[in-house]
Amino acid sequence: MNTGKVTLVSAGPGDLDLLTFKAAKAIAAADVLLIDDLVDDEITTLKAAHARVIKVGKRGGCKSTPQAFIQRLMRRYALQGRHVVRIKGGDALLFGRAGEEIADLRSAGIDVDIVNGISSGFAAAAGLGVSLTHRDHCQGVIFVTAHLRDGSEPDWATLAATGMTLAIYMGASRIDGISEALRKTLPVDTPAAVVQWAGTSREKRVCATLGEIAACAASENIASPAVILIGAAIGEGVAQLAARSESMCRLSA
């Protein structure tokens, strides 16, 4: 039997309307679907009748499917000649361990295709109605995870000093420490926002200053999965939320 292949499909932030045509075609052609926890369950309506669906949820702070087990499943089915589609939330190439999976599959002689998608950082900005970059405020955006593999944190001072918009993933449970660390470099009134379930029907958002954002997120019960946005460009979102009377926290007011 010929070796099959694996396609890493980016499912986007959760709204099926944001799924690309290429992703939908890959799902329809799959023999086996390995689906992340943050992916909309209705995505399985796009599969072929014969396709097998396996949930391989991975959530911070929750019971998760071990990464090594997921990689073994992909190798096993692909080596049986199956087309395996690994469906990841957001974009597969951003904080989805795609690098580990690609290396593992290629070492086994398995072909890998990649389908890009919309990351939750972009969905969060869209929900706020802001651009992550702005000629008047910053020249770029940095996508960063709130913790490294060994449990340590990034160099927040160096990141803050760039003047870029910071899009911080997997940081909801650490927002107190993150905001405190950033305040050592950034002004306390730097605009900030937290968006939970970005790009889905469950989306919740709160805007405040860097000095207030942690308390505001707690008062609004914002938790994982959430994206934290920090930077001057996010100030545009604060003004727009105020105009629309949506969730803005002003603890000092």
Q: Can you list the domains of the chain with their CATH numbers?
A: 5-115 (3.40.1010.10), 120-243 (3.30.950.10)
Catalytic annotation present for 25: no
Q: Which two tokens stand for residue 171?
A: 């940081």
What pLDDT does 242 receive? 58
Number of Cβ within 10 Å of residue 250's Cβ equals 12
**For 61-80, how does the pLDDT look when each residue is reduced to its tens digit (9 = 90+)?**
556 789 999 999 999 999 99
C-alpha–C-alpha distance, residues 78 and 72, integer Å = 10
What's the pLDDT score for residue 43? 94
CA distance linking residue 89 with residue 13, whole number of Å: 6
- Block means of pLDDT (10 residues each) for the chain, length 253 residues? 89 91 97 92 94 82 79 96 96 93 96 96 93 88 89 92 96 95 96 94 92 94 95 78 62 48
| pLDDT tens, position by position, 179-215 | 999 999 999 999 999 999 999 989 999 999 999 999 9
| Contacts (Cβ under 8 Å, ≥6 apart) of 24 | 46
pLDDT the model gives residue 161: 95
User: CA-CA distance, 247 to 249, in Å (whole number)?
Assistant: 7
- Distance, CA of 188 to CA of 171 (rounded, Å): 19
CA dihedral over 159, 141, 186, 146, signed as positive or negative:
negative
Q: Annotated catalytic residue: which of 58, 88, 91, 248?
A: 58
Q: Which of 104, 170, 204, 248 is catalytic?
A: 170
How many Å apart are CA 105 and CA 176, to the nearest integer?
38
Predicted pLDDT at 64 = 74
- Rounded to 5 degrees, φ, ψ at 26 are -65, -40
Catalytic choice (31, 36, 91, 104): 36
Give the pLDDT confidence score for residue 253 in this predicted structure.
41
Is 55 part of the annotated catalytic residue set? no
Q: Would you call 36 a catalytic residue per the annotation?
A: yes
* Torsion 90-93-97-103 (CA) sign: positive
* Cα separation, 211 vs 215, whole angstroms: 9
